Amino acid sequence: MGLQERIGRKIDARARIVSFIPEYMAYLLNRLGQGEDGKVPNERIGGKKPTILGLEFGEKVFYKLKRGLKLEKIKDRWEHGIFFGVRRKSNELWIGTSGGIESVRTVERIPLERRWGEDNVNWIQWAPWRKYKDVVEADGDLPEGVPAEELIEAKNAGTRIIETRERAPREFYISKKNAEDHGYTRGCGGCTSWHRGLGRQPHTPECRERFRQAMAEDAKVKSAQEERGNLKRGRMRRKERKKRRRRGRKGIERKMKKTGI
């Protein structure tokens, strides 16, 4: 399953997000499954070719909140959620959040590196027959889900990765408290995300350099600089060894030419 490959582990059949897969598969088959006449089921009924969203099942997206009170204009109208299906009656999108399930019209994709993680499974806490608490038309109880202990075991039992390339030096971490102590950087996406309550964004090089100078005596800054210096010295030593080997080979080749070997 694509969702398993994206998050890097197998998904237990008891996970509640699994209960939404049959309904979404039916939606895809009605729009993608061509028959002998070259038409898909939805086209035979409606008379025109249907459209398909370019979203993956279980993908984390930005969704637009429904309008609230007029005095709430200053509040954010976009939140993170998990896409897992399309509503049959209205073609609204089903979005799962940590607080429940929403039906929305407008979504936006987020950067690939922030699309997939454990939230894609853990945020779905309901089922197709019970999409929210105390629903009148509920047709059964919620699946029991996967116990927390088993989730931890599954997460820790991943594939072992052996790195063959040299890792880039890790930058020191800038916390919100650091920004409050030393001030925010104007025009930096990382600093702006704290103001707007958005997901974390990377800090600009100028912002990092400013914090590096302001926090020069902090242990984490010194540790990052030391790590960077060690990696740089290691690269220089490897380059020097390669040069020596090349000189050695060239010297042997010259001797062999002189002796006629």
Instruction: Tell me how far apart the terminal alpha carbons of the chain are, to the nearest angstrom.
Output: 62
Residue 166 lies in a domain: no
Question: What is the average pLDDT across 27-35?
Answer: 87
- Say how many domains are in the chain: 2
Contacts (Cβ under 8 Å, ≥6 apart) of 118: 7, 155
pTM of the model: 0.52
Answer yes or no: do 246 and 147 share one domain: no
Residue 13, pLDDT > 60, answer: yes
Q: How confident is the model at residue 187 (pLDDT cuts 50, 70, 90)?
A: confident
Task: Convert the pLDDT of each residue in 213-243 to its tens digit.
Answer: 888 888 878 888 887 788 788 888 888 888 8
Residue 142 lies in a domain: yes
* Between 255 and 65, residue with greater pLDDT: 65
Q: How confident is the model at residue 88 (pLDDT cuts 50, 70, 90)?
A: confident
Residue 163 lies in a domain: no
Pairing of strands 60-64, 107-109: antiparallel
Q: How confident is the model at residue 8 (pLDDT cuts 50, 70, 90)?
A: confident
Residue 113, pLDDT > 90, answer: no
| Residue 196 lies in domain | 176-259
Residue 151, pLDDT > 60, answer: no
User: Which strands make up the sheet holding 93-97, listed edge to edge?
Assistant: 100-104, 93-97, 78-86, 60-64, 107-109
Q: How confident is the model at residue 41 (pLDDT cuts 50, 70, 90)?
A: confident
pLDDT computed for residue 95 by the predictor:
92
Residue 64, pLDDT > 80, answer: yes
Pick from 156, 184, 203: which residue ends a domain? Answer: 156
Answer yes or no: do 120 and 230 share one domain: no
Residue 37 lies in a domain: yes
Closest CA to 17 of 166, 134, 138, 120: 120
Burial of 68 (0-12, 13-18, 19+ CB in 10 A): exposed
Question: What is the average pLDDT across 120-127?
Answer: 84
pLDDT computed for residue 74 by the predictor:
66
Answer yes or no: do 107 and 49 share one domain: yes
Question: What is the average pLDDT across 137-156?
Answer: 58
